[in-house]
Amino acid sequence: MTQKRKPRVLLADDELHIRALMKAVIKSINGEIVAEATTGQDAVDLFNEHKPDLMLLDINMPIKTGEEALEEVIRKYPNALVIMLTSLSDAKSVEKCMKLGAANFIRKDTPIDKMKDIIKQTWREFRLS
Amino acid sequence: MSVEKLKILVVDDDLFFRKMLPKKLSSKGFIFDTAENGVEALEKLHANPDVELIISDMAMPEMNGLELIKKIRSTGKDVPFIFLTASDQLNTAIEAMTCGASDYLLKDENILRTLSISVDKVLEKHQLKKSNQKLLQDLAAKNKDLEKSNKQLLKLNELKNKFLGMAAHDLRSPLASIRGLSEFLLSEIFGYLTEEQKEYINIINKTSDEMLTLVNDLLDVSVIESGNLDIKPLKTSLISLIKDRIKLYRMSAEKKDTRINFIPEDIPEIFFDPSKIAQVIDNLVSNSVKFSPPGSAIYIHADVDKAMVKVSIRDEGPGISEEEQSRLFGEFQRLSARPTAGEKSTGLGLAIVKKIIDAHHGILEVNSRLGVGSTFSFKLPISND
């Protein structure tokens, strides 16, 4: 990611091991984690507070799902760059999220090199469009 | 049912016969009752419905033998009848046979002998009929039990598949995280590692990767077993797919000094599910790499075989015995050959491959000779499916 300042990333997932993994992924591509959310509501509130360059958003979260959080954030910030974090069984939700305005999605069991590629590519496409 | 308990009713207006027959046949252990005529016989029968045999005279007052048997048969009772007749009653006796009498005997000087033989025969037939009925009843009851436990087993199997799917599903992303985080540690971007730390973290990384493969295989099996194998056929190039998948294995093959040669002939594009057939190719190619000794070669060939497209993968590994070949596509089968570089095996891969090929209405074959090598081939139909 070619920016003079580090891209600011908001991480939203209710599972600790996913947050740890995505933190390492973001750091390895020179990003900065500005906040971590564990519920959909948290995700919306923290987005309002920090206005990050990128949000990684889990689909399955308590107290407001990723889908609902995405809808709210996109409504208020139509240019928000959001990548959904998904499991295999989320296929239908993923479709819906892409229609709502998510920029891309990453399956949680993707190898880390591929994860890095997806994030970098989505960032590039988004910034250039 | 013991013979001792069997009841015989003797019906004759002649007192002599009513007294003589029971006495002469008593050595067989029957229980006797007597009646003077048809009417009394009916009363006796009503009072003792377990009468096994009726020995009856033909000509009697009030109700003769023929009327008696007709009456009894009309109530649906199938109790056997032996008629004793005088020679001038033969026509009546024959008519009685058409009403379901078992036998008729002449009241001559041989009567006791003929009667004895006839009684034995009639009773034997009756016994057989009864035990047959009982057997049929038992069979019906057993069938019902079997049906019930069959239903239960199907339900349990469904539950097992569901559970397997859930467990595999939940294990997936934590395992992926362990694999990913250990990979980051090994890359040393978060700090340098001592040799020892590298060694242990490497093991964490490798083991979690192997577990992830097993979990994915289990998930595949549960999906397939529960009948949810969803084939999404597209018309596309099988050759391009094979080329792509081989790329993934070239590196691990090179590490073992094994060459992969792909020699395709011209084959048409056909309908198949690319992601599932990719799985098939991955599995077969990785197996041949796994079991290939260093310095050997793997030959992959594609051509048209009658109405099907055939892909075969030949290795120069240890080969598979006939006995093992018969077990090859079953689940959780681990055969005697060991991977030549310590690779892991879940025993599920070929079972999954078979199910995928079956779902494509294709054919999966293996040809192997111990000490020479193995050729795995799958055929897919060319016609639009």
Domains and CATH numbers, chain A: 8-128 (3.40.50.2300)
Q: Does residue B133 belong to any structural domain of this protein?
A: no
Over the stretch B14-53, which tens digit does the pLDDT of each residue have?
898 889 888 888 776 788 999 998 899 999 988 888 888 9
Residues B213 and B246 in one domain: no
Q: Which residues have a Cβ under 8 Å from the Cβ of B18 and sit 6 or more positions away?
A: B10, B12, B34, B36
A49: left (phi over 0), alpha (psi -120 to 50) or beta: alpha
Helix (H, G, I), strand (E, B) or coil at B340: coil
Do residues B358 and B382 touch, judged by C-beta distance below 8 A? no
User: Strands B373-381, B363-369: parallel, antiparallel or unpaired by DSSP?
Assistant: antiparallel
Residues B38 and B97 in one domain: yes
Residues B245 and B198 in one domain: no
The full DSSP string for B38-57 is HHHHHHHHHH-TTEEEEEEE
Is residue B159's pLDDT more than 70? yes
Taking the C-alpha atoms of residue B15 and residue B34, their distance in angstroms, rounded to an integer, is: 10
Structure tokens at B269: 């594009």
- B142 in a structural domain: no
Q: Minimal Cα distance from A17: which residue of B?
A: B177
Q: Any chain B CB within 8 A of the CB of A21?
A: yes
CA distance A7 to A56: 13
pLDDT score of A46: 97
Q: Specify whether B377 is located in the same domain as B239.
A: yes
Q: pLDDT, tens digit, for every residue of B161-200?
A: 888 878 888 898 899 999 999 999 999 999 999 999 999 9
Cβ pair B310, B376 in contact under 8 A: no
8 Å CB contact of A21 and B180: yes
Distance from CA of A125 to the nearest CA of B (A): 25
Structural domains of chain B, count: 3
The whole-number pLDDT of residue B332 equals 65
Domain-embedded: residue B271: yes
Q: CATH no. for residue B80?
A: 3.40.50.2300
How confident is the model over B245-274, as a mean pLDDT?
88
Nearest CA in chain B to A23: B181
Name the pLDDT band for A4 (thresholds 50, 70, 90): low
State the complex-level ipTM. 0.86
Q: Looking at the structure, do residues B160 and B261 belong to the same domain, yes or no? A: no
pLDDT at B184: 95
**Any CB–CB contact under 8 A between B175 and chain A?**
yes
Token look-up 């005997």 returns: B105
pLDDT in tens, B209-244: 989 988 888 888 777 777 777 788 888 899 999 998
Do B218 and B252 fall within a single domain?
A: no
Q: Is the pLDDT of residue B55 over 70?
A: yes
Q: What is the pLDDT of residue B1?
A: 45
Yes or no, beta carbons of A28 and B181 under 8 Å apart: no
Task: Please indicate whether, in this complex, the C-beta atoms of A87 and B173 are within 8 angstroms of each other.
Answer: yes
Give B322's contacts (C-beta < 8 A, 6+ positions apart): none
Please give the mean pLDDT across all residues of chain B. 87
B233 burial via Cβ count (<10 Å: 0-12, 13-18, 19+): middle
Quick one: how many helices (H) and strands (E) in chain B?
10, 12
Q: What is the pLDDT of residue B352?
A: 86
B182 and B246 fall within a common domain? no
Last residue of a domain, one of B206, B225, B244: B225
Task: Give the number of C-alpha atoms closer than 13 A to the C-alpha of residue B107, restricted to the C-beta side.
Answer: 20
Q: In this predicted structure, what is the pLDDT of residue A113? A: 92
Crossing angle for the helix pair B15-25 and B111-187, to the nearest 10 degrees: 50
Contact between chains at A112 and B180 (C-beta distance less than 8 A) = yes
Q: Spell A56-73 as b/e; 16+ CB within 10 A means b.
A: bbbbbbeebbbbbbbbbb
- Written as one letter, the residue type at B369 is R
Is any Cβ of chain B less than 8 angstroms from the Cβ of A19? no
pLDDT more than 70, % of chain B? 95
Q: Is A111 in Cβ contact with B180 (below 8 Å)?
A: yes
Give the phi and the psi of residue B356 in degrees, each rounded to 5: -65, -45
Q: What is the pLDDT of residues A9-60, one digit of tens each?
A: 999 999 999 999 999 999 999 999 999 999 999 999 999 999 999 999 999 9
pLDDT in tens, B145-158: 999 999 999 999 88
pLDDT at B298 over 80: yes
Task: Tell me the torsion sign for CA atoms B340, B346, B349, B355.
Answer: positive
Q: Are A90 and A59 in contact (CB under 8 A)?
A: yes
* Cα–Cα dist B26/B30, whole Å: 6
Calpha distance A70→A80 (Å, rounded): 9
Q: Establish if B303 belongs to a structural domain.
A: yes
Tell me which chain B residues have a C-beta less than 8 angstroms from the C-beta of A88.
Answer: 169, 172, 219
Q: In terms of domains, do B192 and B216 share one?
A: yes
- CA-to-CA distance for B294 and B257, rounded, in angstroms? 5
Domain span including residue B215? 147-225
Tell me B293's DSSP state: P
Is the minimum CB–CB distance between A16 and chain B shorter than 8 Å? no
Report the candidate in B208, B200, B216 with the shortest Cα–Cα distance to residue B167: B216
The nearest alpha carbon in chain A to B172 belongs to A109
Could B177 and A111 be called an inter-chain contact, meaning their C-beta atoms sit closer than 8 Å?
no
A87 has a chain B CB within 8 A of its CB? yes
Same domain, B259 and B326: yes
Q: What is the pLDDT of residue A1?
A: 53
pTM over 0.90: no
* Contact: B169, A27; criterion CB under 8 Å: no
Which pLDDT value is given to residue B3?
46
Can you tell me which residue has the tokens 């971007």? Answer: B189
